[in-house]
Amino acid sequence: MARLEDYANKYQTIKMERRDGILQMTFHTDGGPLLWGGLPHGEFPQAFRDVGSDARNKVIIITGTGDSFSGGDRASDPARQPTPLTLRPRYWDRVYWEGKQLLNNLLDIEVPMISAINGPALAHSEIPLLCDIVLASENAVLQDAGHFPNGGVPGDGVHIVYPLLLGMNRGRYFLLTGQAIGAQEAQQLGLVNEVLSREKLLPRAWELAEHLTQRPQLLLRYTRVVLTQAIKRQMVDLLGYGLILEGMNSAEYAAQAAEAQEQGS
């Protein structure tokens, strides 16, 4: 059984604070907005496992730092640069394992989750959408900027979440065009439940969380379980397959880059 004092300060990209059973996870990079890359990719799966293993957590709030929920992309992450390393199965085995654990461990958290999307979510925007209640600030934007627009197969969860939430045709359009969906449109499409000003976003998340904690703990847990079961089934069927296809494409991309470098030298 995990304890907050054992994991609260364990992660470089997540600040944690808990009050009356409500745990807020604030994502960041060096105290500023979260820039997605190898570090959060490795930390998030472990953090979600710790949080889900702590029986004192009754409701979880996730949010970002400053005016952005998540940014960065494959091109800006040194760990994603095409190198001989990315051609090796051992490298992609780590990406494959972490990618599966990230979303599966999130869905294994057996208490209600509320996301407060405080600004653009351009990298792994499926994470806040997998929460049970999704709030967004007026300046929030949802996009999958790091995959197809940057030459990557959108195979690490977005290929499941967006067609599921938007419908098959709108979801495929979103992923293939790099579409950016603003907060108001996201609410109209059913991706977001409430749109609020930045200053009202977190207070509203806490208000909802405090309301939920008045309910019995088993009611909270089992409701979360029953509401996520269908999503978890799709993750089991499709997540690992998508990650493997993403890895194959990335290896080919790295091989072409290496060949071009050799020809130019």
- Kind and range of the H or E run holding 182: strand 181-182
* Alpha carbons within 13 A on the beta-carbon side of 219: 5
For residue 195 the two structure tokens come to 């749109």
Rounded distance between C-alpha atoms, residue 102 and residue 224, angstroms: 18
Examine the residue annotation and report whether 199 is marked as an active-site residue of this protein.
no
3-class SS of residue 49: helix
3-class SS of residue 132: coil
From 110, 126, 138, 207, the catalytic residue: 126
Q: CB of 12 within 8 A of CB of 47?
A: no
Q: CB of 7 within 8 A of CB of 16?
A: yes
List active site positions.
Answer: 126
